[in-house]
Amino acid sequence: MALVFAGPVPNANAGFGPSSRAVVSPPPGLVKPNVQDSDLLSDKADKKLRQLIGNTIDENRLEQFSIQVDNLAEALNNFLSNEDDATESEDAADAKAELERAKLLQRQIADREELLDQLDKQPYWFNYLAAFIGSVASTLAMHPLDTIKTRLQIRASGEGESDCDEVEKGIGDLAGLYEGLTGNILKEGPPSALYLGVYESVKHSLLPRFDAQSVLLVYLLSGAAGELVGSAVRAPAEAVKSTVQSGLEPTASAAARRVFGTPESRSNVVRAWSASIWRDVPFGAIQLAIFELVKAHILNDPNLDFDSGTLASEALIGAFAGGCGALLTNPFDIVTTRIITQDVDAEETGGGGGGDEVDFRRPLGVLEMASKLYEEGGTGAFLVGWKARVAYWAPAISIFLTCYCSVRQAAIGQGWFSS
């Protein structure tokens, strides 16, 4: 007797959620007990099955697994009860070993059911709080790299040199790498919480409406929707953060006055937001789509002996997905940064007629700034700072996922919502 795979594993529905896992995927309903004298459950199949059970957040599918494993255990017990104790056969010895494996699976299913019950007791707002904490922790760790990336992009533009000597010197001193931290926390914390919540809501709404061949589209649309909502909060905070990081203003309060102090500067924030949509929406869609697909591929391939459900492995997958998304959207990041830091205020210049003339600098939009970048440096201008951007987002996504799950694990361990 054995548990055998009756067919290919359907696409895994990976997603942020459980406390013990950063991303989880429900198991297939295609694993069934099957009586076969010579095809006992192999170690590899047994390990894959345990990974599938350990990655589900679908209570119905977990119940299906429970029924199947219970049926197998009952069949094995019936088989052993009919064996003659005095003449125990080799088949009986194999059946006993199989029964022990079935009991281990039963205990794993029971533990998983208990975990899902504890997760159900966590209020919805706590998921947003966990995402916010994870984002803040990630920002604190990775902010210096973000500062380096921003200053490299400004230095390449040749703008802002008169405002800050640090830009002329390059990335500036090490102590100044945490400039703009407050703005960056505001830029990443609340938007990440919104991004995560909207992504999960849209994904779970769309998945039943699409077939298995369209899951990539669901992941892309869900991630894009999450980033679109989060960008409305992120854009103003990013304008303040980038102004401080680039050296145009020394403090967040001064940067806020510069960014929101005049009608022209406020219009520029809206302009920068429109540019950031071209960066953030694809980034949010790409990184989670890659994350989900890599996770699903590992779970669906019975020949891959890799537990993608551990925090360490999911952090690794998250780093890969974040790095890919960051690289592909680097051109839009440069356009956004240059729009944010362009000078949009009117300046008085000495005129030859005895009075001061006002020089109105017309701010550039997305396409105009992209055209200007191409004129300055060709296609290479859109790759400036890509190493720093990838180096920022790859570990940032890993830290975010790990902290997010750790917060929810801590809540279960402390019994905060057990009653």
Kindly give the interhelix angle for 330-341 and 366-377, rounded to the nearest 10 degrees: 100
CA 4 distance to own-chain centroid: 34
Cα–Cα distance for residue pair 157/155, rounded to 1 Å: 5
Q: What is the pLDDT of residue 37?
A: 35
CA-based nearest residue to 69, from 117, 112, 38: 112
What's residue 327's pLDDT? 93
**What pLDDT does residue 258 have?**
87
42 vs 38, 47, 71, 104, 180, CA distance in Å? 11, 9, 19, 15, 55
Residue matched to tokens 């919540």 = 197
Q: Which residues of the chain have pLDDT under 50?
A: 1-40, 86, 160-168, 348-349, 351-352, 355-356, 358-360
Q: Backbone phi, then psi, for 350, in 5-degree steps?
A: -70, 120
- If you count them, how many residues does the chain have? 419
CA dist 268 → 239, 343, 361, 362, 376 (Å): 9, 9, 12, 10, 22
Work out the angle at residue 167's Cα, subtended by the Cα atoms of residues 162 and 173, and round it to the nearest 5 degrees.
130
pLDDT in the model for residue 344 = 65
Q: Supply the pLDDT for residue 278.
A: 81
Tell me what pLDDT residue 162 has: 41
How far from 247 is each of 132, 180, 267, CA to CA, in Å?
27, 10, 21
* Tokens coding 345: 């205020």
Sequence-distant (≥ 6) Cβ neighbours of residue 82 within 8 angstroms: none
* pLDDT value, residue 57: 66
Residues 305/50, Cβ–Cβ less than 8 Å: no
- The predicted pLDDT at position 249 comes to 83
pTM of the model: 0.69
Residue 27: the pLDDT is 34
